[in-house]
Amino acid sequence: MTDPVSFFRSVAADHRRCFWLDGGGAREWSGRRSIIGWLGDDDVSLSWSAARREVTLHSGGTATVVGDDVFAVLEERIGAGEQWFGYLGYAARTDLPAAPDPVLPDAVWMRPRGVRVFEHGVDDQRSPADRGSLTLSASATPDNVSERPTTPYAEAFARVQEHLHAGNSYEVNLTHRLTRTSDLDPVAAYLRLRELNPAPYSGFLQHDVDGARAWLLSSSPERYALVTADRHLETKPIKGTTPRGASAEEDEAHRLRLASDPKTRAENLMIVDLLRNDLSLVCEVGSVEVPALMEVESYASVHQLVSTVRGRLRDDVSTVAALRALFPAGSMTGAPKLRTMEVVEEVESTPRGAYAGAFGWISGDGPADLGVVIRSLTTDGGGTWTLGTGGGITVRSDVAEEWAEAGWKAERLLRVFD
């Protein structure tokens, strides 16, 4: 069998619309299967512009507006036996405050002509020191991230603190956008990214279509939503991040500090409570549970504090309706969701775009699996790349520490351009 990398290269070269949901960096809980798919010229894809409030259908070189709500159009068009692949950007819901992306579509979904599945072996979870790979210690700052908080970030942080002390929110996920200019080919960039930062929700999407061009390169560790064949809904929020250590001893010290830090645990618990509420809106009464609370997962560059929230969907709730009810991920907003999104809209100076959204697949028969769009790069193919980074802010947060954490999260992505 052709290896997935070679097959991916040929597919991306031959098809303007294609994707790779990449299981090469997967975990036991996410499965170790890759799906590579492609569309012919006459196949159907959808794009969503939050600015114009238009869902556009692309097929055969034509573009036709087919709706004003991407969730409603997906509900209508995903047929039994079909699988659609794509992303929902942060501004995908029309009833929530979010700035549209001025360059890329706020969502892209594809119905592929063909797919090919590859199975991967077990990944390597040794510490960076043991692997001899690049790591970033807690006191280090990557060359292409400023060491001190920028004035816009510091001002946004101060405004968030005002809202927190006024009781408008318990926790605000404050993010900012970084841009880089590079003529690096998206395929080469993704192959570099998957080497630098393997993750359970790695993937690549190419939508090279006039008026709706988008490339999304993901190396996300976070599950947005899994819907199983027996209609169980699961999400795995991440709240709490620390860099890997340069030695085995330092690495273990970082892991233990993350697991026991009161501030981090409080942040995680607030998001778990938010998601328990989100799931209760669409799940059977009494079925919502937290089978795993604040477990440490270790990745190539960071340790993460992860919880699992699960419930069983009510019979009257469709998969698309469940994904809409959870959107956007509570770990990327804060709590309570609506009021905190209003705060985010006020204080963040740049749109989030695909960042903080969801990327994966939806089946017309019910199952779905999507990751949160973090640790990801986007471009419209014009040479400008964007990435988002940030973290949860509470009344106990320190501006310098939060800025440093955002740097740890971004450093592997920025290394793609070295």
Residue 92 φ/ψ, nearest 5 degrees: -75, -30
In the residue annotation, 147 being an active-site residue is answered as: no
Beta pairing class for 302-312 and 45-49:
unpaired
CA 379 – CA 393 distance, rounded (Å) = 28
In the residue annotation, 239 being an active-site residue is answered as: yes
Largest CA distance in the chain: 60
CA 26 – CA 123 distance, rounded (Å) = 7
Residue 225 φ/ψ, nearest 5 degrees: -160, 135
**Secondary structure class of 405 (helix, strand, coil):** helix
Cβ neighbourhood burial of 350 (10 Å; 0-12, 13-18, 19+): middle
Residues 338/344/346/348 CA torsion (nearest 10 deg): -160
Radius of gyration in angstroms for the set of CA atoms belonging to the chain, rounded to a whole number: 20
Query: What is the b/e burial string over 230-259, where b = at least 16 CB atoms within 10 angstroms of the residue's CB?
Result: ebebbbbbbbbbbbbbbeeebbeebbeebb
Residues 82, 147, 171, 239: which is the catalytic one? 239
The DSSP symbol for 97 reads -
Residue 139 φ/ψ, nearest 5 degrees: -95, 0
- Here the tokens at position 55 are 């869902």
CB 128 within 8 Å of CB 244: yes
- Determine if the peptide bond prior to 4 is cis (ω within 30°): no
Residues 6+ apart with CB under 8 A from 147: 141
Q: Residue 14: which H helix or E strand, with range?
A: helix 4-14
| Of 167, 93, 68, 22, nearest in space to 332 by CA | 93
CA 216 distance to own-chain centroid: 10
| Of 229, 201, 227, 198, nearest in space to 369 by CA | 227
Catalytic residues: 222, 239
